[in-house]
Structure 1
Amino acid sequence: MSEERAAREGQVIMPFYIICDVSGSMYNDMAALNDGLAQLRQDIMKDPVVDDLVMLSVITFDDSARTVVPLTAPTDVELPRLGPGGGTTYGTAFREFHRAFEEDRKRLKGEGKRVFRPCIFFLSDGEPQDRDYLQTFQSLLGYDPTTKQGNSAYPYVTTFGFRDASQHTMEAIAYPNFGESNKRGRWFLAKNGQAVGELLKSMAGVIGQSVLKSGQSVGTGAPQYVAPTSVAGMEGSFV
């Protein structure tokens, strides 16, 4: 095996999953969401080194969830034009992420890659209609470091809520009780009166910067998820 091939096969990959609410209430915001995703991709591609170290996937959800962009390098991402659907069910999104990541991790490890803990950016404009969404979240993604029970590959989660989404819900998903003393989740909530279109542009910008900085950390030999620090027009918290 050549040294170049060996290095490529042992390469660290940082997987990022953007989970977008496309329920019916997002009808007037789809153009801004599509434009934001396209700009995010372009921003990441400006750094060719990062383009080799990170992978992106897009999952959409309403009454159901689907992977519309399978996990791949930003250069190879083909973004569909997203359209609005039905209701808002968070549990479907968590189930689809769990299914997709398990398959992605198996594939990447089969290629000799080292897979970093997955990172989720979760965007929603409303409250979940499925009351058991937190149980779904915990059962699929939760982990107890004391008993070693649950999903040891649980993701870092950063949530963005706007319109009818509440702080309680965004915080509950960003700060799962996994028993860590240094949780890395972060939540952001739109301030009153902020235009959703402008918020989506701001979100896309900070997500792009987070991905870039996280990818650049791989070159230091100590890869880490670099969470967003602020979003124009939104308030938030970080532990």
Structure 2
Amino acid sequence: MLDGDGRQRAFPFYVVCDVSQSMWHPEHNIGVRQVPLELLAEAVPQLIGKIQRKPAVADAAFMSVIGFHSSVEEVLPLTHLNDIVDLRPFKRGAQTNYAAAFQFLYERLREDCGRLSRSHRLKRPAIFFLTDGIPFYGSEAQPEHVWRVARDRLVALDVLPQIIAFGFGQARRNVLCKVATTQGSRPLAFIAKGGIDVAEVLGALMKTLFISINASVETGELSVRTPDSMSWACPAAAG
């Protein structure tokens, strides 16, 4: 897919998954057939496979998969969709260090986008941020001023990355709204509706990622739809 100057377009997509203890430990997932981490381990490769079967999209899309907990694990470095063969498994983590996730993303996007921009017409990166809880590190909730500094540094990069936040489980609306960037005047933050099974939530979420990635590549601009099992997390606001 070429732009007007004859260069191939590159759309970087980062799927960032909370892999903290609440995503996999039985004590946090009583009564579920599969814990959220197992569902993600199946769903993310399936998502990549579906996109690969859309040649016009796969030709322009690049994807990275990242797991974060007390630290950060790069499951898949940013790779052209057509070159992805397999993913490393998600590791089971403990806590939920938002600051580490945003710092890692800052460093990776600066490197990835600098490299891509030398050979491609780079489009704004999109970060799909999936979490089932609040930022927590050490013995207490991670203070907002700690992780917010790292988040704000990330979104201030010259490539203007966009963060779309999806929350379920114990995720909180006010946190999601501060994580997400805005489109128009509304933060791109979504939260699961009450009483819906986590498998249904994650299934709808993966469907939304597939539709959003396809639409974004086809239109040249980020396009996000609300997952069927989720709703907007916050009112219109700056962020």
TM range (shorter): 0.7 to 0.9
In the alignment, structure 1 residue 173 sits paired with structure 2 residue 175: no
**Post-superposition offset of 1:175:** 3.6
Aligned residues: 214
In structure 2, list runs of 5 or more residues that go unmatched.
Answer: 25-34, 137-141
In the alignment, structure 1 residue 138 sits paired with structure 2 residue 172: no
Aligned counterpart for 2:110 among listed residues 102, 105, 119:
102
- Name the residue aligned to 1:235: 231
TM-score (norm 1): 0.83
**Post-superposition offset of 1:185:** 4.4
Separation in 1 of the partners of 2:179 and 2:109?
18
TM-score (norm 2): 0.83
Separation in 2 of the partners of 1:59 and 1:188?
20
Separation in 1 of the partners of 2:74 and 2:124?
19
Runs of 4+ in 1 over 4 A off after TM superposition: none
Amino acid at match of 1:93: A
SS at match of 2:231: strand
In the alignment, structure 1 residue 55 sits paired with structure 2 residue 65: no
Separation in 2 of the partners of 1:182 and 1:30?
33
Aligned counterpart for 1:121 among listed residues 100, 119, 128:
128
In the alignment, structure 1 residue 17 sits paired with structure 2 residue 31: no
SS at match of 1:20: strand
Separation in 1 of the partners of 2:185 and 2:210?
21
Matches within 5 A, 1:72-91: 72-77=79-84, 78-91=86-99
- Name the residue aligned to 2:53: 46
Aligned counterpart for 1:26 among listed residues 23, 28, 45:
23
**Cα pair distance change 1:104/1:213, threshold 3 Å:** same
- The answer to whether the Cα contact below 8 Å between 1:156 and 1:184 also exists between their aligned partners in 2 is no
- Name the residue aligned to 2:208: 206
Separation in 1 of the partners of 2:187 and 2:17?
17
**Cα pair distance change 1:232/1:56, threshold 3 Å:** same
Which range moves more in the overlay, 130-139 or 203-212?
A: 130-139
Can you list the C-alpha shifts for 1:181-213, whole angstroms capped at 9, x where unaligned? Answer: 835741110111221122111111100110011
Identity %: 30
- Name the residue aligned to 1:158: 164
Amino acid at match of 1:68: V
Separation in 2 of the partners of 1:119 and 1:233?
21
- Name the residue aligned to 1:148: none
- The answer to whether the Cα contact below 8 Å between 1:161 and 1:189 also exists between their aligned partners in 2 is yes
- Name the residue aligned to 2:191: 189
Separation in 2 of the partners of 1:126 and 1:161?
7
RMSD over equivalenced CA pairs, Å? 2.0
- The answer to whether the Cα contact below 8 Å between 1:119 and 1:155 also exists between their aligned partners in 2 is yes
Amino acid at match of 2:38: A
Separation in 1 of the partners of 2:103 and 2:135?
14
Amino acid at match of 1:21: D
- The answer to whether the Cα contact below 8 Å between 2:75 and 2:89 also exists between their aligned partners in 1 is no
Amino acid at match of 1:138: D
SS at match of 2:16: strand
